[in-house]
Chain A
């Protein structure tokens, strides 16, 4: 009898402990801090979505639901965190994104390289969140723009191909060397198919193409291999994007 009771008690306690541990684990994962998310950005290849909120109202819950659904579809490459803007534990991530000054609730998506790939407030759809999952080179373009650089994107037929002479000269020129960043994207890279689709360039490239983007995200043009440095420079100056002396003469 005693043995039976002891065994029963043992099973009950074991079951209880297991149950509690499981609950705790789930709870821990749902309530993991924004600080954990910050650490995760640097250590893994995951996208992280931060849902910032002040009140856990219907808007917040609707946003949370959209983000959860999106992350489920991209479970192998995305995670999410819910962050209260007055939480002391999450103060680091709140400060990083100045979340107390955002219209709330807001969701910010961060790529593994640190580029912010989306920010939406009040409501967000899964389609919008899907658009924020970028190819690696695309994320590099976004990061360059967010660092205040003109992104010179060379679309290449293969890894070994050289960018156009216009792009090379642009990157070496006195006007633009310090203000621009070069991103090479190969048509042979299967991960970059989506990027080619978004820039509306076929992956059956025979010659390199050059795309210019100015911060914070203006598409200045897509140029063939035979374009010249002067054409690229004129495009940048006429947009006023680099605010040099030549841009000032062109602007109003």
Chain B
């Protein structure tokens, strides 16, 4: 008979108190793992957005609500398209590309589709070139904008190379060089649902369009959209020369602050948002979630620890005869303490493992509903959870173990 077999037999004989103590530990670990995993995944998404879009700005109607960068045009508020020309004519430093958009909900082949109007670069080139005389003798402004801006070439409205003229590059660059009035670009998911491929003809709102390209998947809402020339969409909608959003791509992050100020002055009736402002709310929420998860974990661990202590004290009291018998047969007080602590450590380890599993399931099932991001487990949270569960279980079992070790066999047998 080994200590391990003694512990295991005791657990099998009295499962209820063991399970109760185990659940308390599992809950605490589950809360920590799930919340931390969601917060970590959300932070990773924010970092990815900042990396891809860090120098970008959005010009929106003042009253528009904004939830997500890629869905910035999915609201019913509009701006006059003349704001686009205003930005072009201002020749602001750092504007690399612009992407005004107008969004229209429609049906194609009985399927709901988001038809998005986009403006080709050729339209910008023409208006920008009308300022040739003013531009010709301006030297490149010397700006004290930091080392990142030194290598920026200010490519707005330049001639396009073969890469830029490839319509499929829109999925990556979000800008198209040229697009005929009745040609469309179809997102990957939309093409699958509508069962269309390149050069197919489809009817949208009574007009016939040719599929100029099916875009590669980008993992954003753009995969579900159909893109057409902005002016065509304006004509179809009857809304006139308006847009829902103007996406301004900066050449580097060093220009962002100056560009924001300049655009706010140029367009006082519009709202200018940077990527960092957009993700600020998400970053704050992540921080809050992270802190709350540790607080919740601490509280649940205390509750779990108290529960373990209570269960262990009751267990030692209940097993007085048994423990007295062991003492009478020659077991040492240290052995009895080890019996109690081993049981506690088993509760800690198994409780931690169950909590980890439960927390992972919770994160993968509920996480996307909460923050709509691809989930990954937080290894740090897993490590903390398992170690803490073990330590708490053993810590709160210390006094019950001491009590078991100080039992008097003669007193134990008096209960017989």
Contacts and interface: CB of A to CB of B under 8 A. Distances in A.
Contacts of A199: 137
A155 interface: no
Given A117-B133, A217-B131, A243-B161, A251 B86 contact: no
Contact of A217 (B83, B84, B135): B135
A62 to B, nearest CB: 18
Nearest to B153: A240
A219 B82 CA distance: 28
Among B81, B85, B129, B138, the one with the most A-chain Cβ atoms within 10 Å of its Cβ is B129
B155 interface: yes
Interface stretch (A33-41, A102-110, A183-191): A102-110
Contacts of B132: 115-116, 142, 145-146, 215-217
Given A217-B135, A240-B155, A102 B85 contact: yes
Contact of B129 (A98, A100, A134, A217): A217
Contacts of B84: 101
Contact of A101 (B82, B128, B130): B82
Interface string B139-166: 1000000000001110101111101100
B89 interface: yes
Contacts of A219: 136-139
A103 B85 contact: yes
A235 interface: no
Given A100-B241, A101-B81, A119-B89, A251 B153 contact: yes
B415 interface: no
B137 A198 contact: yes
Given A243-B161, A251-B153, A252-B153, A145 B82 contact: no
Given A101-B81, A103-B85, A241-B158, A146 B130 contact: yes
Contacts of B163: 248
Given A101-B82, A119-B89, A243-B164, A216 B133 contact: no
Interface residues of B, number: 34
A242 B136 contact: no
Nearest to A116: B130
Contacts of B384: none
A213 B136 contact: yes
Interface in B14-38: none
B160 A243 contact: yes
Contacts of B125: 148, 215-216
Contacts of B257: none
B155 A251 contact: yes
B82 to A, nearest CB: 5
Contacts of B152: 252
B68 interface: no
B241 A248 contact: no
Contacts of A251: 151, 153, 155
Interface in B66-93: 81-86, 89
B109 interface: no
B158 A215 contact: yes
Nearest to A111: B133
Contacts of A119: 89, 127, 130-131
Contacts of A146: 126, 129-130, 132
A239 interface: yes
A121 B130 contact: no
A193 interface: no
A8 B292 CA distance: 103
Contacts of B81: 101
A108 B130 contact: yes
A101 B85 contact: yes
A240 B158 CA distance: 8
A244 interface: yes
A101 B84 CA distance: 8
B134 interface: yes
A131 interface: yes
A137 interface: no
Given A213-B136, A219-B136, A243 B85 contact: no
Contacts of B128: 216
Nearest to B266: A103
B282 to A, nearest CB: 28
A32 interface: no
Contacts of B164: 243
Interface string B305-328: 000000000000000000000000
Interface string A198-239: 110000000000000111111100000000000000000001
Interface string B90-129: 0000000000000000000000000000000000011111
B158 A243 contact: yes
Among A101, A119, A215, A241, the one with the most B-chain Cβ atoms within 10 Å of its Cβ is A101
Contacts of A132: 133
Contacts of A213: 136
A134 B134 CA distance: 12
A199 B127 CA distance: 24
26 contacts: A98-B127, A101-B241, A102-B82, A102-B85, A103-B83, A103-B85, A103-B86, A108-B130, A115-B132, A116-B132, A118-B130, A119-B130, A142-B136, A146-B132, A148-B129, A215-B125, A216-B125, A217-B132, A217-B134, A217-B135, A219-B137, A240-B155, A241-B159, A242-B159, A243-B161, A252-B152
Given A108-B130, A148-B159, A252-B152, 19 more contacts: A101-B84, A115-B132, A116-B130, A116-B132, A121-B86, A121-B89, A134-B133, A142-B132, A145-B129, A145-B136, A214-B158, A217-B135, A217-B136, A239-B153, A241-B158, A243-B158, A243-B161, A244-B161, A248-B163
The 5 closest A-B pairs by CB, nearest first: A217-B135, A217-B132, A216-B129, A240-B153, A243-B161
